[in-house]
Amino acid sequence: MPNPKSAIVSVLLTLAVAMGPMSTDFYLPSLPSLVEYFATDVASVQLTLSVFLAGFAVGQLVYGPLSDRFGRRPVMLAGVAIFTLASVACMLATSIEMLIAARLVQAIGACAGPVLGRAVVRDVYGREGAARMLALIGAAMALAPLIGPIVAGYLTVWFGWRSNFLVLTLYGALILVGIMAALAETNPHRGEATSLGQMLRNYRTFLKSRAWLGYVLCNSATYAGLFAFISGSSFVFIKVLGLPPHLYGLCFAAAVTGYIAGTIFSARTVMRLGIERMVLSGAAICALAGLTMAGLALAGIETVWSVLGPMMLFCAGVGLVMPNSIAGAIGPFPTMAGAASALLGFTQMTIAAAVGIAVGAAFDGTARPMAVIIAFMGMAALAAHLMLVRGSEAGEAE
């Protein structure tokens, strides 16, 4: 039987958790070209991102409880298979409506990777160990948004936007083979009923915990701020600041280095400083970075570095918040780790989808709307921690 702590399984879990970022980041450089190719507007093209997040959010509510009942492995196999087939449909889309629909199905498959990958980590490593392992996975996973937009930018220039979805198809196929070959079942608690009533009772348990709510809202706000950048940055850098797609990819990669720095620092220090302090520090950094970016934008200062510099700092804060808030939220619920991870992911993606729609609707040919939304999300993350996590028993269900 494969060792659940082996290097191969760690790599596989990293690839699985990265399915969401890969599905969004890898085609960002092609967003402006989709407007021209399908003769549509910015808001319609950004729906391919927002609809993806909506499907990603709802799908997790199903995968989490199913994996608690039937096991992580078979449910993850089904999800990755859906993702791979939907990626083919995206590649073959002949209208923006068809692409939006295919992205919805792609999201329903893709969400299996992150929600079940996090649950597997909780199964194997426990609460504190999961925080460290998720930070290490986050650092490795950051290679996707670090390298992806650069590669995708060149692929877009050389071969067109469809080539990006070809890569995602191959990516899904690789994970599918890896799960079949290397991932053993890790859920020792499977076999309990998954009735609708039981699912609702499980979710009610989470919602009664102030600490769980605080960690989830802090996680969701920082991710939404990051997604505001993901959703709006290609238009800001390419349309507003005049960068070509391949140079935009370099800018996006530079922002990701902040995230990598945050996750590496987290992995090295969380066992000493604790989850709550790591999340508080990250949220404070996000708030400071967001306010800096918004202040510069509102003052009329629009340069590559007035956007990129604060965003690198914001991403460093996200690198501290994300792995620790996930571990803090799902750690106290070993028998319901799939459901806890699912509701966390649903909340995270629902808020991010709303933010993505807001960024598209508010785009006015400047960096101001994106910057203001990022600042608001950073402040919201800090407020969630101070009002809900601080003062409660960190990580304990009440």
The pTM (predicted TM-score) of the whole model is 0.72
- Note the helical H segments in 92-209: 96-110, 112-141, 143-159, 162-182, 196-207
Task: Return the CATH number at 77.
Answer: 1.20.1250.20
> What's the confidence (pLDDT) of residue 1?
46
pLDDT, one tens digit per residue, over 205-260 is: 777 778 888 899 999 999 999 989 988 888 888 888 888 877 887 888 888 889 88
Tell me the C-alpha distance between 82 and 59, whole Å. 12
Residue 306 has pLDDT above 90, yes or no: yes
Average pLDDT, the chain: 81
pLDDT band per the 50, 70, 90 thresholds, residue 378: very high
Q: Is residue 34 part of a domain?
A: yes
Using alpha carbons only, what angle is made at residue 76 by residues 265 and 333, rounded to the nearest 5 degrees? Answer: 60
Euclidean distance between CA atoms 195 and 184, whole angstroms: 26
Cβ contact 347:220 at 8 Å: yes
Q: Helices 275-298 & 304-330, crossing angle to 10 degrees?
A: 150
Q: How many domains does the chain have?
A: 1
Q: Which helix (H) or strand (E) holds 358?
A: helix 337-362
Q: Would you say residue 14 lies in a domain?
A: yes
Share of the chain above pLDDT 90, in %: 26
How far apart, in whole angstroms, are the C-alpha atoms of residue 367 and residue 365?
Answer: 7
Domain of residue 301 covers: 7-181+194-389
pLDDT tens sequence across 161-185 = 888 889 899 999 999 998 888 777 6
Given pLDDT bands bounded at 50, 70 and 90, which one contains residue 337? low
Asked whether residue 111 is domain-assigned, the answer is yes
Is residue 2 a part of any domain in this protein?
no
C-alpha distances in angstroms, 259 versus 22, 92, 149, 305, 365? 15, 33, 15, 17, 27
**Residue 395, pLDDT score:** 39
Using pLDDT thresholds of 50, 70 and 90, give the confidence band for residue 396: very low
Is 188 within a domain?
Answer: no
Please name the residues in contact with 187: beta carbons below 8 A apart, sequence gap of 6 or more: 67, 68, 71, 72, 119, 123, 337, 338
